[in-house]
């Protein structure tokens, strides 16, 4: 028995499913998870000493690559000063300022500990600010695991084929209204019926939890127009896209200014972190300035702030255009290889993220994403893994490239795809 299998067997005795986040269990790809001992640059190393080119990248945060020296240096300096204060620290201000300077829609920002906390808090704020109850979200978009968002929640729920939202009372999701991603007409119909009680529209400006799905021309602009017309808030969930689609987020890339923005992943440089921010008028309603309560013992943790600040400061000088070009070439190369094997393939890509869908139809929403052939994906995933390439163990996730991936890593990835027998 190899070490990963041995560790997984032990883990299942004391951790539900043997993992602390469901998709990691690799059930949908009929494999056992790899237990990672260390990571460096674009690579992860298992407890068995196997080396993999990594496209999971901690599910997105490691845009600079694993174990980046600038981030490590900041962390070492911070940890020598203590790991948690439960009190304000200078690094909170510095990271908040870096976020405000980078993102057009953020004038004030509140730190939390995860993307789920960020979206949950942003929803409470939207309801408190507008005095309304309902929210609009899109099928297949994942906004964390707070009860109100677990209706048609994308990757994790879809990957494990969990029906509905067990454990969530119907009353909790009765105010959650659903529309198809990229379908403005459905959104207009919801507002025509419920507009006076819709507090906010939550959207991933580039969907990343049904696989990468790009907004069609006019979709985000339409959401901005509709929410403004009805006095609702437009909330961009940029937990994945923030600082990845561009240094100025998807909002900077598409030129759409949301009322609130939710962040995570990259702004923590690999440590647990989240944030939500937006217009000063709205954010001032958060306690202690205002009457909408939200708190967290570890919010603004000095280690997470140091890692996030070092990451963002390093990203300022990185060549996003070059990384986008390399990612596009990789994605197109994989598509060409798979098409040569007479497989139905669509590849959706933006900036440094992409998803391979095994379908003949363009993927524009969750319905078309679910038409992707999961049996082919299972063969692809396991075939790539056998060749030393680590992909997300779900057909509804993104592959993440990074500034650390070399031409050699990309060539190895393409070579691995050529060797798979379907």
Examine the domain organization and report whether 51 and 122 are in the same domain.
Answer: no
pLDDT of 278-299, one tens digit each? Answer: 999 999 999 999 999 999 999 9
For residue 150, the model assigns a pLDDT of 79
Examine the domain organization and report whether 235 and 358 are in the same domain.
Answer: no
Examine the domain organization and report whether 126 and 231 are in the same domain.
Answer: yes
Q: What does the mean pLDDT of the chain come to?
A: 94
Domain end (from 294, 315, 336):
315
Examine the domain organization and report whether 93 and 225 are in the same domain.
Answer: yes
Examine the domain organization and report whether 36 and 122 are in the same domain.
Answer: no
CATH code of 355's domain: 3.90.1150.10
Query: Which residues have CB under 8 Å from 296's CB, separation 6+?
Result: 112, 113, 117
Examine the domain organization and report whether 210 and 90 are in the same domain.
Answer: yes
Examine the domain organization and report whether 263 and 167 are in the same domain.
Answer: yes
pLDDT band at residue 155, thresholds of 50, 70 and 90? very low
What is the spatial distance between Cα 397 and Cα 367, in angstroms, rounded to a whole number?
A: 15
Over its C-alpha atoms, the chain yields an Rg (Å, rounded) of 21
Would you put residue 356 in left (φ > 0), alpha (ψ -120 to 50) or beta? beta
What is the spatial distance between Cα 123 and Cα 130, in angstroms, rounded to a whole number?
A: 11
52 in helix, strand or coil? strand
Per-residue pLDDT averaged across 160-168, rounded? 56
> Which residues pair with residue 207 across a beta bridge?
213
Per-residue pLDDT averaged across 245-272, rounded? 98
Examine the domain organization and report whether 279 and 357 are in the same domain.
Answer: no
Examine the domain organization and report whether 135 and 183 are in the same domain.
Answer: yes
pLDDT of 135-144, one tens digit each? Answer: 999 999 999 9
For residue 164, the model assigns a pLDDT of 58
What is the spatial distance between Cα 348 and Cα 359, in angstroms, rounded to a whole number?
A: 12
Domain end (from 291, 315, 339):
315
Per-residue pLDDT averaged across 330-341, rounded? 98
Residue corresponding to tokens 């060539």: 411
* 163 has a pLDDT exceeding 70: no
Domain end (from 315, 339, 373):
315
Examine the domain organization and report whether 332 and 272 are in the same domain.
Answer: no
Helices 407-418 + 374-386 axis angle, to 10: 120
Domains identified in the chain, total number = 2
For residue 165, the model assigns a pLDDT of 63
Question: Hey, which residues are catalytic here?
Answer: 142, 237, 265
For residue 214, give its domain range.
Answer: 69-315
Examine the domain organization and report whether 281 and 403 are in the same domain.
Answer: no
Q: Which burial class, exposed, middle or buried, applies to 100 when counting CB atoms under 10 A from its CB (0-12, 13-18, 19+)?
A: middle
Examine the domain organization and report whether 159 and 235 are in the same domain.
Answer: yes
* 162 has a pLDDT exceeding 80: no
Do the beta carbons of residue 342 and residue 122 sit within 8 Å? no
What is the spatial distance between Cα 395 and Cα 62, in angstroms, rounded to a whole number?
A: 20
The DSSP secondary structure of 153-195, one letter per residue, reads --HHHHHTT--S-TTS-HHHHTTEEEE-TT-HHHHHHHHHHHG
CATH code of 197's domain: 3.40.640.10
∠ CA(97), CA(101), CA(102), 5° rounding? Answer: 120
What is the spatial distance between Cα 213 and Cα 205, in angstroms, rounded to a whole number?
A: 9
């Amino acid at each position: 028995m190899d070490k990963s299998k041995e560790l997984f067997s032990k883990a299942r005795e004391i951790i539900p499913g043997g993992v602390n986040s469901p998709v990691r269990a690799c059930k949908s790809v009929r494999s056992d998870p790899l237990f990672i001992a260390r990571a460096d640059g674009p690579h992860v190393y298992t407890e068995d000493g196997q080396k993999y080119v990594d496209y999971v990248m901690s599910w997105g945060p490691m845009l600079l690559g694993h174990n980046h020296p600038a981030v490590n240096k900041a962390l070492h300096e911070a940890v020598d000063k203590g790991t948690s204060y439960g009190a304000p620290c200078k690094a909170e201000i510095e990271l908040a300022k870096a976020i405000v300077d980078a993102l057009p829609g953020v004038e004030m920002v509140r730190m939390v500990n995860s993307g789920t906390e960020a979206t949950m808090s942003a929803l409470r704020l939207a309801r408190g600010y507008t005095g309304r109850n309902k929210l609009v979200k899109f099928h297949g978009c994942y906004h964390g695991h707070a009860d109100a968002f677990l209706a048609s929640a994308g990757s994790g729920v879809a990957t494990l084929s969990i029906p509905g939202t067990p454990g969530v009372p119907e009353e909790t999701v009765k105010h959650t209204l659903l529309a198809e991603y990229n379908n403005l007409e459905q959104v207009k119909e919801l507002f025509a019926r419920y507009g006076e009680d819709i507090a906010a529209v939550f959207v991933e400006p580039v969907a990343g939890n049904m696989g990468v799905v790009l907004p069609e021309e006019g979709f985000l602009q339409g959401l901005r127009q509709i929410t403004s017309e009805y006095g609702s808030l437009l909330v961009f969930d940029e937990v994945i896209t923030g600082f990845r689609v561009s240094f100025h987020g998807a909002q900077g890339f598409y030129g759409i200014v949301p009322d609130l923005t939710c962040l995570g992943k990259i702004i923590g440089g690999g440590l647990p972190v989240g944030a939500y921010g937006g217009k000063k008028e709205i954010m001032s309603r958060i306690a202690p300035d205002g009457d909408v309560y939200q708190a967290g013992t570890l919010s603004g943790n000095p280690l997470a702030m140091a890692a996030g600040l070092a990451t963002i400061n390093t990203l300022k000088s990185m060549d996003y255009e070059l990384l986008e070009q390399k990612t596009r070439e990789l994605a197109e190369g994989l598509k060409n290889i798979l098409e040569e094997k007479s497989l139905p393939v669509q590849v959706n890509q933006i900036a440094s993220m992409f998803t391979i869908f095994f379908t003949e139809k363009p993927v524009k929403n969750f319905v078309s994403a679910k038409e992707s052939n999961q049996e082919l994906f299972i063969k692809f995933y396991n075939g790539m893994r056998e060749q030393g390439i680590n992909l997300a163990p779900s057909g509804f996730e993104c592959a993440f490239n990074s500034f650390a991936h070399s031409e050699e890593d990309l060539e190895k990835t393409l070579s691995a795809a050529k060797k798979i027998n379907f």
